């Protein structure tokens, strides 16, 4: 708290993220609206002039080219932009590094790809992608101008004389930026971005915040809530300002004034409809995970594109075959003409085909019309869709939606779920109205219940969906009904399928070591020693540079325990025992040390390290840099190294950091290091160079005993958001390491 | 997950808590409504027949007796029930044990006292207390039938033969109850209870959940959210069912259809009004913390009662003096007669006095009338209150509210804040309407903004207040306005006063060591050794019973590190050095050990302890009890001890546990222990009895190094919800302990 310059910058940043997300939502909405309109007009013109075949040809051509474009974008430009993206954002916020997930590339691919995907007739919506887009915007906006500021520092860093003066002259002092982009801060901004994305998608600021808290974020606190709220509110404001009404990409408005509902009497029906819709949601999840096994492998460059094309053909086929088989023409009401709603297909002039209208029109309009069913208006309003058409539509939609979800095309699930749920609910409501005509049963209300319940069944979020639906419909008077629908559907769906769609995807993706809040149940019976990886790759306090290089090259760990090796004789053979753990050093610290040639002579004694340096390995305590250096003024060279270590993660973003594995970065370091003693880059010369690791390592490492219960290890790991933890025996000798992967692997093995 | 019997029981429990809270809210509401009505009628009658003096006498008599009753209840029956109670519940959920906070006594005192407090004309509301009541209901419902089940086990425990058979015969097996009432579970239920309380108070299920998450809970996760949601929904349902409409104790309904609002044009005015109202909220907080220094000390039994009486006299004085000085009679509209609204005071028959009406009527009705101001109705509706009366009322209310908040009477701040905010907002709106008559400024809308902004300024919650106001008014169309009001007022109020009302109270109460999410900023520059308490009270692995008794008697710690003492000679004097830390034993474990006379002979060797036993000190791993005992079947005596240790905290509730300090419980143990060797209770005989502490201690303790940054210690402590943590040097020798108090004290010293 306290409104310093830093806080103000963060405020402005938050509002900018929200505003930009809102603006992107507006652009996408306009593009999709006009595109769909254009496509429908083309098809209608072709149907009229060229007949059914011509219409199909035109429609299929447009759709297929869009699908090929979208899936090509995913396959060749940005693989991370496939699907909804919420799952990956969720994994990122849990602490998993996913290369390129939140890059500019992904942002562009997502915006363009989602628009193309939605326009291509596939049963995908723009809401899930909006969440990903919001997260990308947050990451992109917070990264670049900071990186550049550090580049500047880096370039001046070598020229040591100017360094401190330059630093003071800047109004934006470096500390501001270090704090701005600590990992934790960026994660908070990304949380706020997801909130803004969903808020823009539904025009639901509070719903967005709740979604970010309930679904996306793994770490909650009061500050994150407030930041999400500000960001979501500014996104909604910008969007509302740009298009004049306060709705989002998908509006659920339509259901109004159900004046004569006997709530008590109808509650059993509502529970029934909610239960059945929840069941459909659960069935969709089952279908989705069953289909996942038959999907084209992502590693192949073209198979996913072919898959997307096939799915698109099936979808377009449905669009034409079903209305053709079940032709149902009705007169087009006057107000529809003004709205340009209703698709003629093969009907007479001035009529519309029910099934074709539902398929070809924009989903938003169709949902609105379904929710309006049974409304008490003055002009004796006829229901626009009959039970038969709705039934056909709902069935076909479940199929094409299951196919589309998981294809290599950017696109989300919210809108399709609402579409499916509302059409199914309307069928049910309409049936109930037919059976009990005196009960004033309003199909639109049941459509809302159905939509809510399918959302609940698919996503298993609770309050966020309630709030999104309440905000989306603007109908606070239905809040109790919506709550009942959510509770019932959550229960029913959990009987059919264990997980929500996101958890299911996370479980399936073996690359993602997602840590749930609670330890898996078998963990309470095993100990830390059962889950740890026993191969400990450690360094000595004074280590040969060549060995450090080797360790860095051959492993992909991020942290290395530091301990002395004690040689002793066990019978005949000499055995090397591990000494007590002295500290932990990070991969990034080692790289900086090598780069700066911090070598000492082989026989040099370890100098006693000043206590103020002990903290330096602590990534989280960025603030302590300036204040803690009071004991003895460090040399400017030490200062540069210190700063570089702290800012390593900001300068090299996640993906580059892992490139080290491929030794490309390391090769540079090797050359640089060798340059001190000779011109050749061979490792031999490095054998004589020692690095004083103990000077830079983090001495206050958190360790656990090997007898500690695995559940406790899990809890500590998760609560503190650790990446590695050292397991020791009762004499503090390291016996193993626990990483995220260890916690996941042993879990899945035992399942 | 997985719907086992345990999960089902928890579900039923959650719904029961919600339902009972809703029922209590209904009872309280009826009592308050009828009570207020009766009181107003009495006063009106007295005014008519006895004149001003008689009216005052009657009113003052009723009010004073109620205040004396309520404050007497607080002072002599249940001191924990004073005030709103939200602060204390918040502290409880942060992990602080407050004796009697959630007992049946407090529940009864709170229900009766709040009703009396509200009826006594003091400016207090029933909403804060409802939160406390919900929490009490949760604690009370989850505690008793479990305690009794354990008592049974205890009584059969001594008679070892029957124990296992009895255990299996029960359908409700003991494990179910152990899990039900682990500390963590109970905290979750209490969170759910607070959600239910607020949901019932405002008829706002989602608002209740958000309040529980944003304000009350310190530990959030998905499961807690879902439980809160279920509980809040069931409370709202029950309340809505009982009184037919879906409003809570306080309804904000009234503002309807502001059709002609030019949002864009009026936004600057709205921001202005929100800012000023936020300022008032901040000023109230300043006043409140300033007055806190002059309050009667709670330790005195009668002074707080006298204080409450004085405050009540001042309040009743306002009620009579202000309407008398600023008499403003208006004709009473017809619909008011039906509602029995409007207070005649000294006006003619068929008229009402504006100021008196606001003071004497139920606050809910008055708020409703204020929010309706400026509504476009058919019959050319006159505003019920003039600017002058509203102005006088708002000023007086700020004063009496500041006085009442903090008195020794149960009562909350929500309703008074709304009252103050809406009257102030209405004044502003009405002024704006006067100055720009063509802009269609609706004072009711500004009243809503004012109410929201004052709430925001006083409480500094953000989304929960937005949702509560949206749900309370049923006006989702105002959501943007409400968000602006909250954001502006939060910013303005933070300039005036640093903390929200709850944080301020927590800071002031030195008994409560409340840990915020983030470490205080000076902590990043100091080390663990600077905050730890250096006096370590430890035990040896094999310790004399007499020393254990002494340690338990003379200290109030809950955990004791276990280490060997190494005697060596430092120069001339023999020095006792601490050996390496071996484990940690809890006070409760020691008490059980003493009670069960687990003594070994002085010269006995330590037996190697089976590894399965290592987990036994772990309070959180209740589930491991049955499963982990596979290695070697423990004797039934060991089983009993094991079970008792685990269930200690359930059998002796928080307050009884701390009575140990006063040695009353210990005396029993001493006698029991001494009983083995002799009949006298002297400690001398215990000198020869040793307790094998190492057999029961927790070997996998989390320790930190003394060089670790204090901020890191704080983060670990807070994230894992610890109560004590051992600080060690680099050889694992304990050098200090960190407890909650240590983290707080050093913080407040440095501030």
Answer whether A702 sits within 8 Å of B702, measured CB to CB: yes
Which is higher by pLDDT, B569 or B7? B7
Q: What is the pLDDT of residues B178-190, one digit of tens each?
A: 444 567 778 888 9
Chain B positions in Cβ-Cβ contact with residue A528 (cut-off 8 Å): 700
Task: Quote the CA–CA distance of A486 and A489 in Å, as a whole number.
Answer: 5
Is residue B232 pLDDT above 80, yes or no?
yes
- How far A234 CA lies from chain B's nearest CA (Å)? 10
Do both A591 and A452 map to the same domain? no
CA–CA separation, B80 and B69 (whole Å): 16
Question: Do the Cβ atoms of B709 and A618 come within 8 Å?
Answer: yes
Interchain pair A618, B702: CB under 8 A:
no
Instruction: Give the rounded percent of residues in chain A with a pLDDT score beyond 70.
Output: 75
> CB contact, 8 Å: B226 with chain A?
yes
Q: Return the minimum-mean-pLDDT range out of A238-247, A323-332, B649-658.
A: B649-658
What is the predicted pLDDT for the residue at B655? Answer: 41
Q: Which helix (H) or strand (E) holds A330?
A: strand A329-331
Model confidence at A508, in pLDDT bands (50, 70, 90)?
confident
In whole angstroms, what is the distance from residue B127 CA to residue B250 CA?
8
Give the C-alpha separation, B675 to B680, whole Å: 7
Positive/negative CA dihedral, B40, B45, B48, B52: negative
**Does B462 contact A229 at a Cβ distance shorter than 8 Å?**
yes
Report DSSP state, residue B481.
H
Q: Which of B685, B646, B680, B651 is nearest to B665 (CA)?
A: B651
pLDDT the model gives residue A382: 64
Quick check: A424 and A398 in contact, CB under 8 A? no
Of B29, B412, B467, B22, which Cα lies nearest the Cα of B230?
A: B22
Same domain, A629 and A557: yes
Q: Distance, in angstroms, between A142 CA and closest chain B CA?
A: 22
Same domain, A707 and A574: yes
Residue in A closest to B714 by C-alpha: A720
Q: Is A225 an 8 Å CB contact of chain B?
A: yes
Task: Select from A222, A257, A580, A715 the residue whose CB has the most chain B CBs within 10 Å, as the one to mutate to test that interface.
Answer: A222
The partner residues of B566 in beta bridges, in order of sequence, read B577
Count Cβ atoms below 10 Å from residue A731 Cβ, excluding itself.
Answer: 12
A137: in domain: yes
Does the pLDDT at position A625 exceed 50? no
Same domain, A705 and A618: yes
Per the CB < 8 Å rule, is A700 touching B709?
yes
Q: What is the mean pLDDT of residues A363-378?
A: 77
CB atoms within 10 A of CB A629: 17
In a domain, B50, yes or no: yes
Q: Given a cut of 70, is residue A6 above it in pLDDT?
A: no
Return the pLDDT at B75: 87
Q: Which residues of chain A are within 8 Å of residue B233 when distances are taken between CB atoms?
A: 483, 487
* Res B464: pLDDT: 87
Inside any domain, residue B472:
no
The answer to whether A249 and A127 have CB atoms below 8 angstroms apart is yes
Instruction: State the pLDDT at residue B454.
Output: 94
Chain A nearest CA to B423, separation (Å): 25
Task: Give the pair of three-digit tokens for residue A74.
Answer: 């995913």
Judged by a CB distance cut-off of 8 A, whether residue A321 touches chain B is no
Q: CB within 8 A of B315, min separation 6: which ones?
A: B63, B121, B122, B123, B400, B403, B404
A455 and A589 belong to one structural domain: no
pLDDT of res. A67: 92
Where among B243, B274, B304 does a domain terminate?
A: B243
User: Closest to B230 (Cβ–Cβ): which among A487, A611, A615?
Assistant: A487
pLDDT value, residue A222: 78
Cβ of A618 under 8 Å from any chain B Cβ? yes
Of A294-298, A337-341, A639-643, B182-186, the least confident: A639-643
Contact A517 B704 (CB under 8 A): no
Q: Does pLDDT of A670 surpass 90?
A: no
**In which element (H, E) is residue B585 found?**
strand B573-586
pLDDT band at A737 (very low <50, low <70, confident <90, very high): confident
- Mean of all residue pLDDT scores within chain A: 76
ipTM of the complex, rounded to two decimals: 0.78
Domain check: are A52 and A153 in the same one?
A: yes
In whole angstroms, give the CA distance from residue A75 to residue A109: 11
B483 at the A interface (CB within 8 A)?
A: yes
Report if residue A320 sits inside a domain: no
Q: How far is CA A451 from CA A359, A423, A445, B99, B101, in A?
A: 17, 8, 10, 47, 43
Q: What is the pLDDT of residue B608?
A: 44
Give me Rg for the CA atoms of chain A.
30
Mutation target among A232, A274, A620, A700 for the B interface, most CBs of B within 10 A: A700
The dihedrals phi and psi of A479, each to the nearest 5 degrees, come to -60, -35
Task: Quote the CA–CA distance of A293 and A301 in Å, as a whole number.
Answer: 18
Same domain, A490 and A550: no
B707 neighbourhood in chain A, CB within 8 Å: 611, 614-615, 699-700
A707 shares a domain with A605: yes
Confidence of residue B711 (pLDDT cuts 50, 70, 90): confident
Beta pairing partners, A566: A577
Residues 571-600 of B with CB under 8 A from A: 580, 582
Mean pLDDT, residues A276-282 taken together: 93
Q: What is the DSSP letter of A73?
A: I
Torsion of CA A284, A289, A293, A299, to 10 degrees: 100
Residues of B in contact with A628 (CB under 8 A): 524-525
Average pLDDT over every residue of A111-115: 92
CATH code for the domain in which residue A619 is found = 3.10.580.10
Q: What value does the mean pLDDT take over residues B682-704?
A: 71
Convert the pLDDT of each residue in A388-438 to its tens digit: 889 999 999 999 998 888 888 888 888 899 999 999 999 998 888 888 877
Whether A476 and B466 lie within 8 Å, measured CB to CB: no
How confident is the model at residue B574, as a pLDDT?
67
Q: Is residue A300 part of a domain?
A: no
- Is residue A366 domain-shared with residue A229, that is, in the same domain? no
| SS3 state of residue A707 | coil
**Does residue B670 or residue B735 have the better pLDDT?**
B735
Mean pLDDT of chain B: 76
Residues of chain B in contact with residue A263, where contact means CB-CB under 8 angstroms, are none
Across B399-418, average pLDDT: 88
**pLDDT at residue B227, rounded to an integer:** 87
pLDDT bracket for residue A261 (50, 70, 90)? low
Question: What pLDDT is attached to residue A664?
Answer: 47
In this prediction, residue A109 carries a pLDDT of 92
DSSP string, A624-644: HHHHHTTSSPPPHHHHHHHHH
Query: Residue B591: what pLDDT?
Result: 76
The share of chain A scoring above pLDDT 90, in percent, equals: 15
A499 and A615 share one domain: no
Nearest to B709 among A236, A615, A732 (CB): A615
**Measured between beta carbons, which residues in chain B are less than 8 angstroms from residue A498?**
1
Residue A68: per-residue pLDDT: 92
Query: Would you say residue A598 has pLDDT above 70?
Result: no
Which residues from chain A sit within 8 angstroms of residue B580, using beta carbons? Answer: 730-731
The residue from B204, B223, B243 where one domain ends is B243
Both A545 and A503 in a single domain? Answer: no
B173 compared with A484, residue with greater pLDDT: A484
Q: Do A483 and B214 touch (CB under 8 A)?
A: no
Q: From the candidates B229, B469, B630, B715, which should be mutated to test the interface with A, based on the most A CB atoms within 10 A?
A: B229
Gap from A291 CA to chain B (nearest CA, Å): 24
Q: Residues B649, B587: contact at Cβ < 8 Å? A: no
CA distance A23 to chain B (A): 18
Residues B624 and B656: beta-carbon distance below 8 Å: no
CATH of the domain at B148: 1.10.3080.10
Interchain proximity A494–B470, CB inside 8 Å: no
Strands A724-728 and A703-705: parallel
User: Quick check: A623 contacting B, CB < 8 Å?
Assistant: yes
Same domain, yes or no: A692 and A608: yes
pLDDT exceeds cutoff 60 at B409: yes
Please give the biggest Cα pair distance in chain B. 102
Last residue of a domain, one of B243, B268, B303: B243
Q: Is pLDDT at A520 greater than 80 in this prediction?
A: no
pLDDT of amino acid B455: 92
> Does residue A116 register a pLDDT over 60?
yes
- Of the two residues A306 and B10, the one the predictor is more confident about is A306
Burial A188-222 (b: 16+ CB within 10 A, else e): bbbbbbbbbbbbbbbbbbbbbbbbbbbbbbbbbeb
Using the Cβ of A249 and the Cβ atoms of chain B, whether some distance falls under 8 Å is answered with: no
- Chain A residues whose CB is inside 8 A of the B519 CB are none
Distance CA B402, CA B496 (A): 16
Residue in A471, A624, A708 closest to B476 by CB: A471
Contact (CB<8Å) A470/B483: no
Instruction: Return the minimum-mean-pLDDT range out of A9-13, A147-151, B434-438.
Output: A147-151
Q: How many CB atoms lie within 10 A of CB A156?
A: 16
Domain count, chain A: 3
Q: Which pLDDT belongs to residue B130?
A: 92
Domain span at B9:
5-243
- List, as one string, the DSSP characters of A65-84: HHHHHHHHIIIII-GGGSB-
Q: Is A206 on the interface with B (CB under 8 A)?
A: yes
* Gap from A581 CA to chain B (nearest CA, Å): 9
Q: What is the pLDDT of residue A193?
A: 93
Q: Give me the mean pLDDT over the B591-606 stretch.
A: 64
Mean pLDDT of A594-610: 57
Tell whether the model's pLDDT for residue A656 goes beyond 80: no
| Greater model confidence, A342 or A665 | A342
Residues 675-714 of A with CB under 8 A from B: 699-705, 707-709, 711-712
Kind of pairing between the strands at B703-705 and B724-728: parallel
Interface test with B, best of A10, A90, A233, A253 (most B CBs within 10 A): A233
Residue length of chain B: 751
Residue B314, helix vs strand vs coil: helix
Is residue A165 domain-resident? no
**pLDDT at residue number B740:** 79
Q: Tokens 């606050």 appear where?
A: B363
Q: How far is A562 from chain B (nearest CA, A)?
A: 13
Would you say residue B293 lies in a domain? no
Q: If you count them, how many residues does chain A have?
A: 751
pLDDT per position as a tens digit, B292-305: 888 878 778 888 89
Is residue B639 over pLDDT 70?
no
* Domain-located, residue A709: yes
**B206 — contact with chain A (CB < 8 Å)?**
yes
Among A389, A399, A432, A503, which residue's Cα sits nearest to residue A276? A432
A233 touches chain B (CB under 8 A): yes
Please say if the pLDDT value at position B562 is more than 70. Answer: yes
pLDDT at residue B314 is higher than 80: yes
Mean pLDDT of A61-78: 90
Contacts of B520 in chain A (CB under 8 A): none
Q: Is the pLDDT of residue B504 over 50?
A: yes
Question: How many angstroms separate the CA of residue A360 from the nearest CA in chain B?
Answer: 31
């Amino acid at each position: 708290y306290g409104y310093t310059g830093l806080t103000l910058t963060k405020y402005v940043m938050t509002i900018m993220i929200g505003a930009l997300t809102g603006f992107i939502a507006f652009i996408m909405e306009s593009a999709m609206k006009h595109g769909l309109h254009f496509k429908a007009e083309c098809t209608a013109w072709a149907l009229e002039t060229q007949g059914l075949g011509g219409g199909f040809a035109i429609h299929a051509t447009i759709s297929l080219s869009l699908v090929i474009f979208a899936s090509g974008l995913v396959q060749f430009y940005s693989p991370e932009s496939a699907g909804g993206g919420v799952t990956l954002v969720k994994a990122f916020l849990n602490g998993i590094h996913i290369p390129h997930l939140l890059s500019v590339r992904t942002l562009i691919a997502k915006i363009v790809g989602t628009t193309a995907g939605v326009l291509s007739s596939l049963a995908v919506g723009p809401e899930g992608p909006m969440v990903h887009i919001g997260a990308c915007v947050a990451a992109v906006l917070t990264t670049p101008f900071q990186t550049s500021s550090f580049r500047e520092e880096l370039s001046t860093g070598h020229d040591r004389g100017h360094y401190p003066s330059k630093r003071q002259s800047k109004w934006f002092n470096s500390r501001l930026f270090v704090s701005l982009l600590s990992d934790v801060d960026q994660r908070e901004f990304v949380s706020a971005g997801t909130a803004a994305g969903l808020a823009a998608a539904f025009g639901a600021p509070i719903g967005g915040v709740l979604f970010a808290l309930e679904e996306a974020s793994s770490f909650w606190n009061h500050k994150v809530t407030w930041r999400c709220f500000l960001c979501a509110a500014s996104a909604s404001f910008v969007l509302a300002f740009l298009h004049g009404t306060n709705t989002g990409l998908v509006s659920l408005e339509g259901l109004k004034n159900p004046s004569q509902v006997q709530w008590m009497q109808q509650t059993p029906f509502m529970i029934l409809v909610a239960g059945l819709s929840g069941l459909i949601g659960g069935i969709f999840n089952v279908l989705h995970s069953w289909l996942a096994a038959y999907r084209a492998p992502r590693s192949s460059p073209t198979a996913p594109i072919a898959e997307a094309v096939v799915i698109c053909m099936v979808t377009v086929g449905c669009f034409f075959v079903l209305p053709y088989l079940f032709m149902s023409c009705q007169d087009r009401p006057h107000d529809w003409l003004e709205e340009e709603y209703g698709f003629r297909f093969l009907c007479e002039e001035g009529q519309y085909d029910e099934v074709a209208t539902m398929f070809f029109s924009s989903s938003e309009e169709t949902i609105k019309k379904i929710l309006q069913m049974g409304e008490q208006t003055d002009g004796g309003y006829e229901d626009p869709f009959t039970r038969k058409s709705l039934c056909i539509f709902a069935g076909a939609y479940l199929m094409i939606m299951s196919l589309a979800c998981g294809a290599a095309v950017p696109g989300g699930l919210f809108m399709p779920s609402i579409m499916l749920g509302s059409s199914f609910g309307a069928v049910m409501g309409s049936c109930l109205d037919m059976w009990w005509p005196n009960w004033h049963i309003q199909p639109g209300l049941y459509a809302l219940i159905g939509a809510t319940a399918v959302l609940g069944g698919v996503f298993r979020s609770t309050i966020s969906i309630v709030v999104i639906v309440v905000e989306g419909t603007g109908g606070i008077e239905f809040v109790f009904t919506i709550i009942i629908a959510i509770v019932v559907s959550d229960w029913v769906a959990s009987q059919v399928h264990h997980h929500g769609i996101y958890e299911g995807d996370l479980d399936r993706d073996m690359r993602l070591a997602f840590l749930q809040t609670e330890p898996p149940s078998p963990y309470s019976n095993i100990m830390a020693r059962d889950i740890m990886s026993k191969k400990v790759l450690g360094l000595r306090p004074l280590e040969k540079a060549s060995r450090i290089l080797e360790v860095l090259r051959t492993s992909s760990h991020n942290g290395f325990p530091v301990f002395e090796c004690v040689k002793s004789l066990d019978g005949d053979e000499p055995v090397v025992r591990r000494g007590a753990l002295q500290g932990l050093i990070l991969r990034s610290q080692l790289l900086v040390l090598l780069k700066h040639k911090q070598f000492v002579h082989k026989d040099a004694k370890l100098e006693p390290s000043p206590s103020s340096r002990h903290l330096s390995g602590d990534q989280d305590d960025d603030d302590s840099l300036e204040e803690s250096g009071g004991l003895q003024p460090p040399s400017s060279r030490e200062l540069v190294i210190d700063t570089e270590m702290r800012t390593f993660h900001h300068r090299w973003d996640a993906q580059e950091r892992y490139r080290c594995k491929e030794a490309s970065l390391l090769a540079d370091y090797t050359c640089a290091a060798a340059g001190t003693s000779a011109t050749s880059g061979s490792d031999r010369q490095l054998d004589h160079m020692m690095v004083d690791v103990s000077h830079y390592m983090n001495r206050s490492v958190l360790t656990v005993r090997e007898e500690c219960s695995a559940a406790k290890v899990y809890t500590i790991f998760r609560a503190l958001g650790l990446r590695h933890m050292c397991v020791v025996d009762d004499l503090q000798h390291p016996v193993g390491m626990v990483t995220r992967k260890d916690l996941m692997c042993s879990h899945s093995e035992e399942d």
